[in-house]
Amino acid sequence: MDLSLNEEQEIMKRNARNFLKKECPMSLVRELEEDEEGFSRELWLKMAELGWMGLMVPLDYGGSEGNFLDLAVLLEEMGSACAPSQFFSTVVLGAEIILSFGTDEQKDNLLPPISSGESIGTLAIIEPQSAYDISKIEMTSTKDSDGFSLDGVKLFVSDAHITDWMVCVTRGKGKDREDPGVEIFFVDKESPGISITPLKTISGDKLFEVRLDRVKVSAENLLGGQEQSATDLEKVLQRAALAKCAEMVGGAQMVMDMTVDYAKQRVQFGRAIGSFQAIQHHCANMLIDLDSSRYITYYVAWMLSEGIPCEKEIAMAKAFVSDAYINITRLGQQVHGGTGLMEEHDMQIFFRRAKAAALSLGNAIFQREIIAREMML
């Protein structure tokens, strides 16, 4: 097993870092947090020109057919820059579900616009009672003469106000006792009957409650047909959870860098605070958590890229990295003192992002339940 990056990945990492440093400075991140729309179309199109939207899409659909390690490298840099979330919701969630469940015809129609950056989408899966537990989804579809009708509420739908479409997950009829079954629809966001309500979030990202009131969806937009495997959908969400780990590793690295630089420069009692044992131990603990997070993330990304089953390992990574990122930002704030809590300082942005990322795609408690299940407990 070799977890070192190959030449192409090193180039992509360097280019992504340079691009984001120039095009997505923290001043833009702050601006987008305060902006009602929270979206920079100019940045989105520039990212598309670099081929990022099609990174995981096969060549036949306009992508570059990268593997999961490629995605992890890119997301680590995006996490370091606190880049906007539309990439994650469109590419890591929406496009991956289309790839996993869509027919050849659906992929031909839907994936090229995503790869080129023309199409922006999101995933609508969480319901008030379900979180990421697919077995608790209650929304169902009603089949009629010209397609399907959808009724229900979805929560925490990312960037629903600016997307062109959403992938909406409903409950199947559950013909297989071992698998409750799902039906997945590609829904035009402008369809009559859809209403969205913004939700206030700790990280400043744009999440919405989406209500669907007898929303008509054509039969052609039912991805892969009726009664799809809930287990297969869980695997897509697990891959997305690992992708979120890579994003968190990038954020944690930036926090570490800021903290060590500050400890070297900040002088108290006639010496740099980094010379005090307490500060040294804080920084050492941060590095332990950071390197452990990076190792488990890239190890499991390697397993995915090699086609090795790793459901338990993904859950382990998400549980560990979620806790570690929060711990790293807390220690970073302690080293910075009151400065690290001020709105004017970038540290508080990373702390809020860490709290939100820990909840995304299943928090540490949710992941530990998966680990216990995989241990046959």
Do 108 and 55 share a domain, yes or no? yes
Please give the span between the terminal C-alpha atoms of the chain, in angstroms, as a whole number.
Answer: 30
Mean pLDDT over residues 256-263, rounded? 97
In the chain, what percentage of residues exceed pLDDT 70?
98
Last residue of a domain, one of 179, 197, 228: 228
pLDDT in tens, 17-38: 999 999 999 999 999 999 989 9
In DSSP terms, 154 is beta-bridged to: 210
Do 208 and 144 share a domain, yes or no? yes
Cα–Cα distances (Å) from 374 to 242, 296, 313, 368, 371, in that order, read: 17, 18, 10, 10, 5
Cα–Cα distances (Å) from 89 to 86, 106, 237, 286, in that order, read: 5, 19, 12, 29
d(CA 25, CA 341): 20
Last residue of a domain, one of 228, 251, 279: 228
Assess if residue 2 is contained within a domain: no
- On the 0-12 / 13-18 / 19+ scale of CB atoms within 10 A, 321 is buried
Please say whether the beta carbons of 354 and 326 come within 8 A: yes
Let me know the angle formed at the C-alpha of 216 by 211 and 218, rounded to the nearest 5 degrees. Answer: 135
- CATH label of the domain that carries residue 78: 1.10.540.10
Q: How many CB atoms lie within 10 A of CB 234?
A: 18
pLDDT in tens, 286-296: 999 999 999 99
Phi first, then psi: what are they for 327, rounded to 5°?
-60, -40
Instruction: Give the chain's mean pLDDT.
Output: 94
Q: What's the domain count of the chain?
A: 3
Kindly report the length of the chain: 377
pTM exceeds 0.85, yes or no:
yes
Which residue range forms the structural domain that includes residue 368? 231-374
pLDDT in tens, 183-236: 999 999 999 999 999 999 888 889 999 999 999 999 999 999 888 989 999 999
DSSP state of 84: -
